[in-house]
Amino acid sequence: MKAVAPAPTAAPLRPPRAVVGSQVSYEEEMFGAAFDGRVVRRFWAFVSPYRRRVYIGMAAVLVFTLTQVAVPLVLRYAIDDALVAGEAGLAVLRLSVLAFFVVVTLNYASNFVQERVVGRISGSLLFDLRRAMYRHLQHVSLSFMDKTEVGRLMSRLQGDVNALQEFLETSIFAIGDFVLLIGIISVLLALDFELGLFTLSVVPVLLLVRIVWLPHAKRAFLRAREASSVVNGALAESVHGVRTIQEMGRESVNFALFEEKANDNLRAHLRASKFSNVMIPIVDTLTGIAMAVVIVIGGGMVLGQELELGVMVAFIFYVQRFFDPIRSLTIQYSIMQRAMAAGQRIFEVLDVPVEVRDRPDAIALPREARAIELDDVTFGYVPGSPVLRNVSLRVEPGETVALVGPTGSGKTSITALVHRFYDVWSGAVRIGGHDVRDVRQDDLGAHVAMVLQEPFLFTGTVYDNIRYNKADATRARVEAAARAVGAHDFIGRLPEGYDTVLDQRGSNLSLGQRQLLSFARALVADAPILVLDEATANVDSYTERQIQRALARLLEGRTAIVIAHRLATIRGADRILVLRDGELVEQGTHDDLLTLDGLYARLYRLNHASFDDLAAEEGGGAPAS
């Protein structure tokens, strides 16, 4: 089959300034020490619940290895003591056949136990580790989550955990291999010391070859892996961006660039393949040499009656086996290096501090606690540069307060503090007079509902997205909430109504619809206090009006802080608080503030539709949160 490349149309001679895919691979390969005591110790904490089974597994590995060593010995016994002995040996032969069956049955049983135990434990451990990380991430400080890419964390939850899988599944067998190697060497030397030495003389040669080979091969393998990830990255880009690619007519340029990468990938893999295959004739040659040694020298010794024939046969069998453990042990070495690096990265995640925790004597928040108070609060994300400075404000029960101010003025930080996403540097945040740090987080969360600016939906049905974590929400309540925010109609028009599955973060809904669903979700949560970050101006006027109505319904009877971007919302609020550079500069009603003729009046005059327009002009810099 030929790949049909669209012919580049009249491409000028000079190369295009273009790339496809990411230029760097995402492989985070580290070749550190093969053994890191700290990692192993911490890792043991995860293994320890399975301690007993690990011991059983180890015992099985030992038994298994011993039986493997024993098989040629039984053969030797059968040949020397039965076959060579003639007629008298018949009983011995049957005895040795019996011994053989006993040995192989033991071999079978121990093999079964070792494989099963190791496989199951390593499977469980991987899930335990992943769960521990996932669980920890649910509680680590949000500022850590803010600055860490999801992809980065996912690579630890998956890539690193999988790197450990390889290690776990092979580690116990590595012990077996080691024992096997020692076993074979001792048996060879015990059977006949001289012949044993001669035969084993090929081992250092193999070790030497592998030591020279390993670093080069490892580089080649790593290159191949990187090339794969680069080429797959480019493919992913072309799948995700296919519309833009067709729009801009980039097909032929992209194809040419992709071909380069695919070519590079091909070369890297061919090279890696050369490296892995070159070991085959080397090992085979060494095996041949060892066998020749056994036959020539051993045969000579048989003549001098120094060696029994069965021993020679046993030697031949051992020679065919003893390169296997050496081979797998050198592979094991790189697996261990990778595992240590992966372990380090996993424990790094587990070590991210959890800053916001319940106090031991944390209390439940009474339902009637509804006033919000910030008392002389100073707070920031980076030590030394506070985002809020000595802010004091109070929201009375049932009151709706609008927060207004340029981007970076600290609006979002205030809402985050009310929900105790972070702890204040100084001052206090109180709900109904209780410091949020004295309250159980679960309780605080049930008390303060939050609607984020970007509606976030999960893959799942509309119904599940609205009820979310409320296990006691009835279908009727979910529908009532949807009706209240005016989402019921469009949900009814979806192919399966409430049971329609939203895919890829609700991409089958419009932004406005997603917003309404997130309102409904907050309504089901039914908290007395609401913190709402209004979406900026990117929905159409029809949806906009619906959202305004839903908002009015949502705010009804609740204490609310709204980060407002729309004039309608702002004017609907009982009070407006104007923030600038982390300080509360003005507050009052719309008319009050216009009369005051300060920042608010200026913001109002400068634009009519949205209050965010001043971002660039007033706030400068990047948003603080």
Partner 1 sequence: MSVPAATDTPDRTLALVPDSVRTRRTAVAFDAGVLLRITRMAMAHPWRMGLGFAATLFAAAAQLVIPQLIGEAVDHAQSLLSAAADEAGAREALVRAATLILVTSVLRGLFTMMQNYQGEAVGQLIGYHLRLALYAKLQSLSFSYHDRVHTGDLMTRGILDVEGVKLWVSTGLFRAMLLVILVGGGAWLLMSIDWVLGCVALSFVPFVAVGASLARLRLRHLWYALQEELAVLTRVMEENLGGIRVVRAFVSQAFEIARFDVISRRALAIAHRRIDVFVKSTTTMTFAYFISMGLVLWVGGEKVMAGELTIGELAAFLAFMAILQMPVRQIAWTVNAIARTSTCGGRLFEILDLEAEIRDRPGARDLEVRDGVMRFENVSFRYRKEGKGPPVLRDVSFEVHPGRVTGIVGPPGSGKSTIAHLIPRYYDVDSGSVTIDGQDVRDVTLASLRRRVSVVQQDPFLFTAAIDNNVNYGDPWAERSAVRRATEAAQLNKYVEQLPEGYETLVGERGVSLSGGQRQRLAIARSVLPDSSVIVFDDSTAAVDAATERQIHEALADVTRDRAIIIIAHRLSSVMYADEILFLEEGRIVERGAHDVLVALGGRYAALYALQTRMSEGVPEAAESGGT
Task: Restricting to residues 494-513, name those near partner 1 by CB under 8 A.
Answer: 494-499, 503, 505, 510, 512
Site string for partner 1, 248-267 (x = CB under 8 A): xxxx-xxx--xx--xx-xx-
C-alpha 198/C-alpha 196 separation (Å) is 5
- Cβ neighbours, 10 Å, residue 67: 20
Nearer to partner 1, 39 or 564 (CB): 564
* Residue whose CB is less far from partner 1, 6 or 215: 6
> Of 452, 520, 511, nearest to 480 (Cα)?
520
Longest dimension (CA), the chain: 123
Q: Which of 38, 51, 120, 394 binds partner 1 (CB under 8 A)?
A: 120
Q: Which is nearer to partner 1, 340 or 570 (CB)?
A: 570
Of residues 398 through 427, those in contact with partner 1 by CB under 8 A are 419, 421
Q: List the one residue from 51, 139, 602, 605 that touches partner 1 (CB under 8 A).
A: 139
Distance between CA atoms of 165 and 342, rounded to whole angstroms? 10
Stretch in the footprint of partner 1 (CB under 8 A) among 33-41, 204-212, 377-385, 547-555 = 547-555
Closest to partner 1 by CB, 389 vs 440, is 440
Nearest distance from C-beta of residue 247 to partner 1, angstroms: 6
Token output for 378: 């100073």
Q: How far is the CB of 569 from partner 1 (least distance, A)?
A: 8
φ, ψ (nearest 5 deg) of residue 156? -80, -40
Edge to edge, the sheet with strand 529-533 lists: 448-451, 529-533, 559-563, 400-404, 575-580, 583-588
Q: Would you say 34 or 317 has its CB closer to partner 1? A: 317
**Exactly one of 159, 398, 572, 588 binds partner 1 (CB under 8 A); which one?**
572
Q: Is residue 44 at the binding interface for partner 1, with CB under 8 A as the rule?
A: no
**Site size toward partner 1, by CB under 8 A:** 198
Q: Which is nearer to partner 1, 386 or 512 (CB)?
A: 512
In terms of Cα–Cα distance, which of 408, 434, 406 is closest to 420? 434
- Provide DSSP, 525-547: HT-SEEEEE---S-S-HHHHHHH
CA torsion sign for 491, 493, 495, 496 is: positive
The site string for partner 1 over 429-468 (x = CB under 8 A, - otherwise) reads: ------------xx-xxx--xxxx---x-xxx--xxx-xx
Q: Work out how close the CB of 176 gets to partner 1 at its nearest, in angstroms, rounded to a whole number.
A: 14
Which of residues 2, 41, 52, 147 is near partner 1 by CB under 8 A? 2
Say whether residue 147 binds partner 1 (CB under 8 A).
no
340 vs 402, beta carbon nearer partner 1: 402
* 143 lines the binding site for partner 1 (CB under 8 A): no
Return d(Cα 621, Cα 233) in angstroms, integer: 32
Choose, by CB under 8 A, the member of 25, 65, 107, 337 that binds partner 1.
107
Should residue 190 be labelled a site residue for partner 1 when binding is judged by CB under 8 A? no
Q: Which of 45, 87, 147, 383 binds partner 1 (CB under 8 A)?
A: 87
Among 51, 135, 359, 602, binds partner 1 (CB under 8 A): 135
Residue 197 binds partner 1 (CB under 8 A): no
Query: Rule CB under 8 A: is residue 364 a binding residue for partner 1?
Result: no
Burial environment of residue 562 by CB neighbours within 10 A (0 to 12, 13 to 18, 19 or more):
buried
Whether 565 and 594 have beta carbons less than 8 Å apart is answered as no
Rounded Cα gap, residues 15 and 7, in angstroms: 15
Q: Which residues does 273 contact at the CB level (< 8 Å), separation at least 6?
A: none
Choice from 48, 244, 392, 426 touching partner 1 (CB under 8 A)? 244
Rounded to the nearest whole angstrom, what is the least distance from the CB of residue 379 to partner 1 in the complex?
17
Q: Which is nearer to partner 1, 276 or 426 (CB)?
A: 276
Distance CA 286, CA 206 (A): 8
Residue 28 as a binder of partner 1 (CB under 8 A): the answer is: no
Stretch that binds partner 1, among 35-43, 195-203, 273-281, 372-380 (CB under 8 A): 273-281
Please identify which residue in 345, 370, 566, 575 interacts with partner 1, judged by CB under 8 A.
566
Q: 350 and 160 in contact (C-beta within 8 Å)? A: no
Which segment (184-192, 335-343, 384-392, 537-545) binds partner 1 by CB under 8 A? 537-545
Candidates 36-44, 180-188, 383-391, 489-497: pick the segment binding partner 1 (CB under 8 A).
489-497
Provide, rounded to whole angstroms, the least separation between the CB of residue 357 and partner 1. Answer: 12
Q: In terms of CB distance, is 36 or 479 closer to partner 1?
A: 479
- Segment lying near partner 1 (by CB under 8 A), choices 40-48, 49-57, 99-107, 581-589: 99-107
Comparing CA positions, the residue from 456, 475, 465 lying closest to residue 500 is 465
Nearest-approach distance from CB 250 to partner 1, in angstroms:
6
* Under rule CB under 8 A, residue 205 binds partner 1: no
Angle between helices 90-137 and 323-350 (to 10 degrees): 20
Pairing of strands 460-461, 434-435: unpaired
**Do residues 169 and 336 make contact, with C-beta atoms less than 8 angstroms apart?**
no
- Rounded-to-integer distance, Cα 68 and Cα 63, Å: 9
Q: DSSP letter at 372?
A: E
Among 283, 350, 371, 594, binds partner 1 (CB under 8 A): 283
Sequential DSSP letters for 155-190: IIIIIIHHHHHHHHHHHHHHHHHHHHHHHHHHHHHH
Q: Quick one: CA dihedral 463, 469, 474, 478, positive or negative?
A: negative
In the complex, the smallest distance separating the C-beta of residue 544 from partner 1, rounded to whole angstroms, is 7
**247 contributes a contact to partner 1 by CB under 8 A:** yes
Amino acid at position 63, single letter = V
